[in-house]
Amino acid sequence: MAPESGTDQLRSLARMPMVTVTFGWSFNPKYGIKLDIEKPLARDRIAEIEMKVTGTPADAERYLRLGDLYLDVPDYEKSRNAYLKSITLFRKRLELEPDRASLLCDFGEALYATGNADETESVLRKAVKIAPKNAACWDALARFLETQTATKFAPAKPSADKPTSDKPSVDQLASAQRLLDEAASCFDKAVACSTNEAMPYVQRAMHKWAQYFYKQAFEKARGQDDDENKLERSLAASDALPDLDKALQLEPRNVRIIGTATIMEVLSANAKKNNKAHVQMIKLEEMGDPTQKALRAKLALLQGLAQSGDSKTAAAAMEMVAFCQGPLLGDLSGCLESLRRTVQLDPTRQGAWHMLIAGLAGQGRLDEAAPVCEQNIAQKDSTLNRILYAKVLFKLNRLAQAEEQLRAALRLDPNDFTANVATAAIAVKRGTSLSQYIQAEQPLSRAEQVVQGRLDVDRDGARQAMIDFCLTKAIYCGLTDRTDMARAYAKHVLTLDSENQDAKEVLAALNR
């Protein structure tokens, strides 16, 4: 084994593997703004829909929705299978109703989700021809054309006069511009056809936002602009705000629309500050008076909804308030209080629980985080929730209790990578003899099988998992008198992350 001083240092370097909890957002062209912490709700929605499946062509829309929801899990194979099932059922329905525009729109959505762009375009163009006054048809075609624009920015194919290129060709850029222009026209038609519908305004607003991105992308592809900060700032175009305000007038109780408008307001305000390169994180007091007033009005709408008698709506609104307070405006204290209120209103919102725990732990408020973990487990006993509690206990140096939580996690899922690596880390950290160190052998073997399987599917995505595994394995090997193997694992970490301080410290301990 390593010398005594080196042994103590190695044991002290044992760490719980990384657990990622994100509080970001994305824009889904179909549904609008989506918070990362909403994604855990997908499994509940899936279960609700699957209970309603009838085994008839009437399930086409249900399978289309299941395909969307499985992307949030994420389970890409189940998502694709659901889309394919919906396509089969839509075809049967269209045999009986070939000119029903709403069916054609949904059919087109399913086709595009499986990568069938040519048939998608044909179906959606048929829909707008049959129902030229239907806003949903124009919206579906517009979203398709906009997403197709992005496909034209791939590097041009090699030719005799230009064997290699890292930029799209002139013809590709011209095609992209035509698609973008037609998409804008279709979004305008969707708005013109709508009466009191909010979503066409939201979709057009987000298209206006996207147009600024594409404008900079065109300039960059043509070699006219290489200012990356300008490209990022362009994502905060204020042109989207009037349409969003109109959508709010039409649906002042729609949490997602209020959230979208609030996020765009913040991004627009940040873009106006010339000394800021990045589009997020601007404090309310840094904004001009008109912007502050507009933002406070939107936050007041959300807070009003949070007092709603419908606990689900109230919780969704409070969760959106938390996002605006934290990631957007930098008010972490307010954000954590809003997350507490969210889980009180709707304890099923797992994403809010996870962000509350991560936020408290990130502030060093571990004694507060521990009982929150217990409350979350009482609400839903899952592998992840047990691991999160174990991580908090590990940081509190309550290793025996952390080990209990990990044993519970492994009873739920014996092959969970994080639980196995964490169990091994605690074994080597608590151990004082060879017989205790080797308790890490079995969980490390299970973890290695899992990470190797991930490497076969997604090498880049498995990078952090491989780092976590190799660090713990290096410490284990060093403590069990396999120094050369320990060095090899630590050095492999440095090939993945040349600045990894933990790996450097492991190597230093092995050399003592």
Hey, what are 88's tokens? 């089969």
Per the domain annotation, does 479 fall within a domain?
yes
Q: How does DSSP assign 242-275, residue by residue?
A: HHHHHHHHH-TT-HHHHHHHHHHHHHHHHHT-TT
Which of 67-76, 138-147, 167-176, 220-229 has the lowest average pLDDT? Answer: 220-229
Q: Ramachandran region of residue 420, left (φ > 0), alpha (ψ -120 to 50) or beta?
A: alpha
> Would 421 be classed as within a structural domain?
yes
The more confidently predicted of residues 16 and 21 is 16
Establish how many alpha carbons lie within 13 A of residue 297's alpha carbon, considering only the half-sphere containing its beta carbon. Answer: 12
Choose between 490 and 5: higher pLDDT.
490
| SS3 label, residue 207 | helix
Q: What angle in degrees, to the nearest 10, is found between the helix axes of 399-412 and 417-430?
A: 150
The distance of Cα 300 from the centroid of its chain, to the nearest Å, equals: 26
- For 146-151, what is the mean pLDDT? 89
Give the span between the Cα atoms of 215 and 221, in whole angstroms.
Answer: 10
Helix (H) or strand (E) holding 28: strand 25-28
Range of the domain at 451: 1-14+416-512
Average pLDDT over residues 372-383: 97
> Could you tell me the two tokens for 377?
């487990």
DSSP character at residue 327:
I
Angle CA 169–172–175, to nearest 5 = 155
What mean pLDDT comes out for the span 7-29? 84
Q: How many CB atoms lie within 10 A of CB 406?
A: 31
DSSP string, 83-95: HHHHHHHHHHHHH
| Helix spans in 131-196 (H) | 135-151, 170-193
Distance CA 107, CA 120 (A): 8
Q: Is the pLDDT of residue 105 over 60?
A: yes
Length of the chain counted residue by residue? 512
Q: Is residue 289 in some structural domain? A: no
Instruction: Give domain status of residue 400, yes or no.
Output: no
User: Residue 427: inside a domain, yes or no?
Assistant: yes
Q: Measure the CA–CA gap between 353 and 380, rounded to whole angstroms.
A: 10
Least confident span in 225-229, 231-235, 293-297: 231-235
> Is residue 411, in this structure, part of any structural domain at all?
no
382 domain-assigned: no
Q: What mean pLDDT is predicted for residues 375-395?
A: 96
106 pLDDT above the threshold of 90: yes
Confidence at 277, pLDDT banded by 50, 70, 90: very low
The CATH number of the domain holding residue 500 is 1.25.40
The secondary structure of the chain in percent helix, strand, coil, rounded to multiples of 5, reads 75, 0, 25
First to last CA, the chain: 11
In a domain, 496, yes or no: yes
Q: What are phi and psi of 461, to 5 degrees?
A: -65, -25
Nearest in space to 424 (alpha carbons), one of 4, 5, 16, 2: 16
Range of lowest pLDDT (38-42, 60-64, 448-452, 477-481): 38-42
Number of domains, the chain = 1
